[in-house]
Chains A and B, each alone.
Chain A
Amino acid sequence: MDVPWKKPGAKLPVLEGDKNMSKQTINFMLNSQKVSAQVESDSRLVDFLHEMGLTGTKLGCGEGDCGACTVIIDGQTANSCLVLAPQIDGKEVTTIEGLGSYEQLHPLQEAFIEEGAVQCGFCTPGMLLSAKALLDENSNPKREEIIRSISGNLCRCTGYTKIANAIEKVVRSKS
């Protein structure tokens, strides 16, 4: 019988106590603060962030297809489900928790609320970070560039139009 968990070559999950488990220390900047942490060599960045209590980064697929777990690493967006925690050693990471606060929203956050770009909200943190990475690099993008910048972030609720509108609103208010 074809039982998937017994297929030849099927990878069994690694357990605590297994020989190949190792920990290492990493130092990095997280939302403008210095962090030093012990991480397991095969721990995904998204899980590591959640362990640190930063649950704003969402896990939608675990395969790099949906973009819900988007973070910014050294200015570039990345799917944190495909990045291993040790890989951020020496780097600068921005998550949704670093974008704004109740007291001071980032203009993108303000615009997402005003333009109706938020529905279920599960794609929202990743969308915001993709938009931020775009605007950090190009303060005056065209509509097509805005749309391309969020093409790796799936949204099932809004149909994207109001998200693009929100980003465009921030661009217009700056220029």
Chain B
Amino acid sequence: MQELNVVGKSVRRKDALDKVLGKSQYSGDIKLPGMLHVKVLRSPVAHALLKNIDCRAAESLPGVHAVLTAKDIPESNTHGIIIKDEPVLVMDKIRKIGDPLVVVAAETEEIALRALSLIEVEFEELPAVFDPEEAMKPEAPKVHDGGNIQSIRKIRKGDIEAAFAHADIVVETSYRTQMQEHAYIEPEAGVAYLDGDVVVLRVSTQNPHFDCKEVARNLALPLNKVRIVQAPTGGGFGGKLDISVQIYIALLAIRAKRPVRLVYTREESMLASTKRHPYVIKYKTAADKNGKLMAIDVIVIGDTGAYASYGPGTLTRSAVHATGPYEVPNVRVDAYTVYTNNPTAGACRGFGVPQLAFAHEQQMDMVAQRAGISPIQVRLLNALRPNSQTGTGQVLETGVGFVETIEVAQAKALEVLGRIC
């Protein structure tokens, strides 16, 4: 490739100097004159009808400036990147532990916490569902009115039945993967204040323009009256793509007419943020006696928890990538996004592909073993190369460096491990 002047050089990061000096102002470091502190009251139950919230005692606590419930959200009271199925504050139905019920702005964090303790909440608990396969059954408690199967993504290519009928090697395995926490070291945080008639937020986020739309819609403001400025952000990994503090602080800054700040504790961050989808994967592979792939037949069930978040996008990506980086002439994939009363799962580094890789790569090794070839050989035999066709019928003309990655890794393995797979 052509040698360039700046591209291809390991120049110093733009933000490195401020970061090593401790000068970067993350959202939780920002202090504004007259700033109030915000706390959120969250549900201790997973599935319930919300009957009543009594905030009177909290409102009369000295130092409390605003106590807001769902009734105080000007419009919509929903958010979500793909489907607007998540309330800003619960109006009538709780769907998970940690669902937000009330937000409080007070002079200090301590007063805000004390105010939360004075709020009386009445629930009527409902039967809940925590297992995605149970949730798919018609008799399961419904998390949302439309049923628990939020969506299905299908891939269909070629003739699966014929391929399996003629296969020399069939490998069938079930896999399960766990719920993973993003575990960015900076918990969610943000400040909001008024600049004339514009509400300005400095916030830890991966998607400021999305935040802007969600804040504006719920506050019934035009988009240009909401300004989202991303503060230096201490990691995200997909967990700061959804709305966290944004709508609460924008609303409270306007209602209290004071700057406000909300910094999640670690526990609140873990409780309220999305997670990596736990998967159930039923994976069946067909190959000929040489180890050449003939077909895959895959069912994926992703537990998206109480709200969709990036769930349908994650399962769609899983379906597309289910073949792995291999040419597979016959493909059947059904990928289900399923609601339960578990913590919400959303985007998490890899978007459903790590789960599938855990499955398809073990399948490949098992095919190799049955065909009597090495793990490297089975991959080279089936690898996507220039002009290969993917499971969705896309022809990859150029930019396919897969085989080179195998060769480079193999050479390094010989060098440092003294052996290859």
Contacts and interface: CB of A to CB of B under 8 A. Distances in A.
Interface of A: 1-6, 12-16, 50, 54-63, 65-66, 68, 95-97, 99-102, 105, 109, 112-114, 116, 118-125, 128, 154-157
B22 interface: yes
18 contacts: A12-B117, A16-B108, A16-B110, A55-B25, A57-B22, A58-B185, A62-B265, A66-B266, A97-B21, A97-B22, A100-B20, A105-B20, A113-B12, A113-B16, A118-B19, A118-B20, A121-B15, A157-B235
A4 B117 CA distance: 9
B81 interface: no
A174 B227 CA distance: 48
Helix, strand, loop or mixed for chain B's interface? Answer: loop
Nearest to B270: A61
Interface of B: 10, 12-13, 15-26, 28-29, 31, 41, 44-45, 63, 108-111, 113-114, 116-117, 121, 123, 125, 182-187, 232-235, 237, 263, 265-266
Contact of A122 (B13, B18, B109, B185): B185
Given A1-B45, A99-B21, A124-B22, 7 more contacts: A50-B29, A56-B21, A68-B185, A109-B21, A112-B16, A113-B12, A121-B20
Contact of B16 (A55, A65, A118, A155): A118
B344 to A, nearest CB: 20
A154 to B, nearest CB: 6
B266 A121 contact: no
B110 A121 contact: no
A3 B183 contact: no
A96 B21 contact: yes
B290 to A, nearest CB: 38
A120 B21 contact: no
Instruction: Name which of A118, A123, A154, A155 has the most chain B CB atoms within 10 A of its CB.
Output: A118
A118 B110 CA distance: 34
Contacts of B263: 59
Nearest to B115: A13
Question: Would you list the 8 A-B pairs with minimal beta carbon distance, nearest first?
Answer: A56-B22, A122-B234, A121-B19, A96-B22, A55-B29, A109-B20, A61-B266, A13-B110
A111 to B, nearest CB: 9
B22 A156 contact: no
